[in-house]
Structure 1
Amino acid sequence: MPTTKAAATAALFASALLLCCAAIPAQAAPGAGIEGATLPLLWGIPFLGMLLSIAIMPLLAGHFWHHHYGKVALFWALAFLVPFVAVYGAGLTIYEVVHAATLEYIPFITLLFSLFTISGGILLTGNLRGSPGVNTSLLAIGTLLASVIGTTGASMVLIRPLLRANDDRRYNVHTVVFFIFLVSNIGGSLTPLGDPPLFLGFLKGVDFFWTTKHLFHDTAVIGAILLVVFYLLDRYFYSREDRLPPKADPTPETESLGLRGKRNIPLLGGVIAAILMSALWKPGIEFDVFGTHVPLPSVVRDISLLVLAGVSIWITPAFIRERNGFDWEPIREVAKLFAAIFLTIIPVIAILKAGSNGALAPLVALVTDSAGEPVNAGYFWMTGLLSGFLDNAPTYLVFFNLAGGDPQSLMTKYAVTLEAISAGAVFMGALTYIGNAPNFMVLAIAKSRGVAMPSFFGYMAWSGIFLLPCFALLTWLYFL
């Protein structure tokens, strides 16, 4: 463990150093970013290749993927970067990469790293019996908790107790799949703390409790349906367990139920405070990093998150993380794969931002009628389906801006439109493993604990069967 702790600490301080370096004022690169209207769809090939690699390679070449996924991610990143430099020059490339890194990827992975580290130091002792009632209760608690400490925080706190409760069951895949549906996505819809798209809306001027008021009924309907369906499904699989020879519990516990690592709970509060601080504190100070303006509160937030993670590493006894089955591989995998995703997605987002002038104009046309008014069902499905395959935070911003970008107008006259955009971005992030970062982290943790998780397309079959009918119902109830 000392070696692991030293390595993690070294990585922590290296990340902090990078953040500090990024805050040093630098000469801005010429231009203001690539013009999406001029980009052909061919620039989306590296992003498509990255998605297909995640979807197919674990099936066709699992051993190779497990040992070399970082190299595959690097290949697709270079497949975008090298031609982009050749066509548009180093200056514009540096601007786009720095912009994506400083405003999107670094805050994204820093938040995930801090929540992953801190939650890994919280241990639920004792061994819950993974009965249908217990499992449904854990999913319900996680769904509610997701809007308080975020989908990532709730997922990282509860996934290990859920896996431990069900590790003596032969049928446990559906439990993790529904956990991703509810805890890693749908539960984060009620506050800006819940999911990154809503946090971006808060930064744009949407009131903190606007989503609580306007998405409560959507969340209640889909949450109730999925919890009932899960309970019935889990009862069916649980009954089948009785017909088979008992499976030995791999993690027997002699302790009563309890909570260890409580010193990490205030650190989770510190994460929430750091996020709120970055939204509410506006000193007007920015750093110019190769043409990208990085606000001081964002730099302070990210450094604070790294410090909180470092504190968690040092105050948490080694046995707590060991008994949690904690290791750094899930966050390593997410960091490498999403670095390539955030790079290769640059031209795709630029094309979407071009709206009716871009190569994806036919898709954009689906959200506006002949009179120029928004089509709410179109906004719900377009924001949602693209969020399932692109990062849901920038997708939310694209459609937020397509709808006018004025928070006051969207919160009042076009409230249903904003509701559709918000619900689509949050709910449909559950459609694929890459729709929302916690999905992939839960997948990695579950696989590391021996759960035979479905493939990329196998998971999409689950989401198609159980989620698409719910989304169709929401469309009929609220967006037509």
Structure 2
Amino acid sequence: MTRFRPLLAASLLLCPAWAGAAAIDATQLSPLWGVPFAGILLSIALCPLLTPWFWHHHYGKVALAWALAFMLPFAALFGVQAAGGALVHVMLEEYIPFVILITALFTVAGGIYIRGNLRGSPALNTAILAIGAFLASFMGTTGASMLLIRPLIRANDDRTHRAHTVVFFIFIVSNAGGSLTPLGDPPLFLGFLQGVDFFWTISHIFPETLFLVGALLLLFYALDWFYYHKREEIRPVDPTPDTRGIGFDGARNFWLLAAIVGLVLLSGFWKSDVVFHLAGAEVGLPGLVRDIGLIVVTIASVRITPASVHEDNQFSWGPIQEVAKLFAGIFVTIVPVIAMLRAGPEGPFAPIIAAVTRADGTPDPAMYFWASGILSSFLDNAPTYLVFFNTAGGDPQRLMTELAPVLAAISAGSVFMGANSYIGNAPNLMVKAIAEERGVKMPSFFGYMAWSVGILIPLFLVMTFIWFR
């Protein structure tokens, strides 16, 4: 059993209540414990290509199988109590709050129907993407994505080429647009909870955001103009009938969106010493109030939204179910991976930690940008942000002043590069699922990455040389 103690120590690192007074040493954790996480990523990437029917009907079982591939060996080695504690910790402190928030945003935004038959011209499509980028920092990338993806698809349902529009929507609305406030993306919200000022991000990475969003909008307009002027682009019959004017049905849900924003802000600003303990997991009173409030908002949205609005929106629970099931497996299997990152320069991922430090011992903003970004492309970007936040010292006052370029690099990398893959950020998968439900033939996992590597990576390289040297 002694050779397995590092794994136990790493698990204790994620659930401090298990450790008691024992010293924690996660420096000898074997990288093999990351195999289940790699397995679920490969399943998401390959199964839709190789076995689409099986994946469509059994992706939840696949996610469960990989979660058990980590949990069962852990339980066999360290006991059911330790395994149960790990599960309770990751569910209560990370996964359940995450799912509650995105479910609330998905439900409320899905209860708002934008009336009218918009015509998907290059100018209109670009305008929708720009509006979405603005809204994302104030109602979250999930909220903005769920509000606008349906009318955008409907506006282009008479066009032959539509996948590129959804891909750029993921780039801009589901990721880059959420970089300006803690409301926009979970990594920034975690930074806010750690003590980063609410308006710090907008004052320090606004130029980077403006450059990235502006460049993507220009590239999209050029590509969409090219497709729009192809002879076979516009279909003879528009599937969406013409209606008079543009308006909103289910507009009462805008008040519920405001309630979501208020609850999230409240949980950040409200400090309380009241903490509830369950099997080693800690649930603070502000977070509990936020989550209960979000559940109430979700139920209220379902009750007050007319059935006709959901029908017009072609609203279904399929996309959120897919995200919830896949991310349940991701959150469980990511436990040992995050532990290996947190082990620091003495752990298995020492080369990653060393790469972000210059020879003179000072942090390298460019490497922080790329390290946090690349990991956020495939790991959950929220804990990845926290890992590098702590790697850089973890002192919010010092990071906001003396080390401001480093914090800006971590923030930008974690948010922007969530667009590099379908699993980099939760809205990516939801948007993909909604688009496919409406007949848009979306790129495969690797096909999407061909888009991101070809378009985003060159822009990130330019940003590195301008802002993160």
TM-score range relative to shorter protein: over 0.9
Q: CA deviation at 1:86?
A: 1.5
User: Do the aligned partners of 2:158 and 2:234 also contact (CA within 8 Å) in 1?
Assistant: no
Shift of 1:252: 1.7
Residue 56 of structure 2 corresponds to 66
1:268 and 2:247 equivalent?
Answer: no
Report SS of the residue matched to 2:248. Answer: strand
Deviation above 6 Å: which 4+ runs of structure 1? none
For residues 55-454 of structure 1, the aligned pairs below 5 Å read: 55-240=45-230, 242-243=231-232, 246-454=235-443
| Shift in CA distance, 451/35, structure 1 to aligned 2, threshold 3 Å | farther
Q: 1:45 to 1:247 in 2, by over 3 A?
A: farther
Taking the aligned partners of 2:238 and 2:90, their CA distance within structure 1 comes to 45
The alignment's TM-score, normalised by the length of structure 2, stands at: 0.95
For 1:312 and 1:130, how far apart are their aligned partners in 2? 29
Aligned amino acid, residue 251 of structure 2: K
CA contact (8 A) 1:34 1:92 kept: no
Q: Are the structure 2 counterparts of residues 349 and 233 from structure 1 closer, same or farther at C-alpha, using a change threshold of 3 Å?
A: same
Equivalent-residue separation in structure 1 for 2:352 and 2:272 (angstroms): 39
Kept in 2: contact 1:388–1:429 (CA 8 A): yes
Quote the offset at 1:96 in angstroms: 2.0
Note the alpha carbon deviations across 1:210-260, whole angstroms, 9 max, x for none. 0010010000111111100000000001011x3457342222232321111
Question: 1-side partners of 2:234 and 2:210: how far apart?
Answer: 39
* Counterpart Cα distance in 2 of 1:143 and 1:113: 20
Residue 7 of structure 2 is matched in structure 1 by: none
- Give the AA of the match of 2:83: T
Q: Report if the CA contact (8 A) 1:169-1:247 is conserved.
A: no
Letter in 1 for 2:54: F
CA contact (8 A) 1:35 1:350 kept: no
**Contact 2:227 / 2:233 at 8 angstroms: preserved in 1?**
no
Deviation at 1:94, TM superposition (A): 2.2
Tell me by how many angstroms 1:371 deviates.
2.0
Deviations 1:404-425 (A, max 9, x none): 0000000000000000000000
Of 247-256 and 204-213, deviating more is 247-256
Helix, strand or coil at the partner of 2:252: helix
Offset of residue 372 of structure 1: 1.5
Q: CA deviation at 1:369?
A: 1.5
Shift of residue 95, structure 1, vs aligned partner: 2.4
Mean Cα deviation higher: 255-264 or 312-321: 255-264
Deviations 1:90-146 (A, max 9, x none): 233222222211111011000011011111110000110000000000000000100
Residue 12 of structure 2 corresponds to none
CA contact (8 A) 1:36 1:352 kept: no
Mean Cα deviation higher: 90-99 or 221-230: 90-99
1:56-104 C-alpha deviation (Å, 9 max, x unpaired):
0000000010011111111101111001111232233222222211111
Matched residue of 2:183: which SS?
Answer: coil
Whichever residue aligns with residue 297 of structure 2, its letter is L
Q: Does the Cα contact within 8 Å between 2:380 and 2:425 map onto a contact in 1?
A: yes
CA distance in 2, matches of 1:212, 1:445: 30
> Are the equivalent residues in 1 in contact too, given 2:161–2:233 (CA < 8 A)?
no
Question: Which residue type is aligned with residue 418 of structure 2?
Answer: G
- Give percent identity, aligned residues only: 59
**Distance (whole Å) between structure 2 residues aligned to residue 296 and residue 35 of structure 1:** 31
- Secondary structure at the aligned position of 1:255 is classed as coil
The letter for the 1-side match of 2:228 is Y
Aligned to 1:6: none
Instruction: Give the corresponding residue for 2:451.
Output: 462
One-letter code of the match for 1:338? F
1:24 aligned partner: none
Gapped runs of 5+ residues in structure 2?
Answer: 1-16
Q: Which whole-Å CA distance do the structure 2 matches of 1:210 and 1:204 have between them? A: 13
> Which position in structure 1 is the counterpart of 2:11?
none
459, 464, 467: which is aligned to 1:475?
A: 464
Q: Is the 8 A contact 2:419 2:425 kept in 1?
A: yes
Aligned-pair distance for 1:38? 2.8
Distance 1:464 1:274, change over 3 A: same
* Aligned partners of 1:33 and 1:95 also within 8 Å: no
Q: Once superposed, what is the RMSD of the aligned Cα atoms?
A: 1.4
- Matched-pair contact (CA < 8 Å) for 1:56–1:456: yes
What per-residue deviation string (whole Å, max 9, x for no partner) do you get for residues 280-309 of structure 1? 111210001111221011111001001001
Contact 1:166–1:172 at 8 Å: present in 2 too?
yes
Separation in 2 of the partners of 1:144 and 1:33?
A: 47
Within 2, Cα distance between the matches of 1:376 and 1:173? 34
Indicate conservation of the 8 Å contact 1:352/1:398, yes or no.
yes
Q: For the residues of structure 2 that align with 1:358 and 1:70, how far apart are their CA atoms?
A: 32
TM-score, normalisation: structure 1? 0.92
**Aligned-partner Cα distance in 2 for 1:243–1:125:** 27
* CA distance, structure 2, for counterparts of residue 345 and residue 125 of structure 1: 42
How far does residue 365 in structure 1 lie from its aligned partner after superposition? 0.8
Measure, in 2, the Cα distance between the counterparts of 1:243 and 1:282: 59
In structure 1, what is the Cα distance between the partners aligned to 2:76 and 2:232? Answer: 64
SS of the aligned residue for 1:293 comes to: strand
What amino acid is aligned across from residue 382 of structure 1 in structure 2? Answer: A
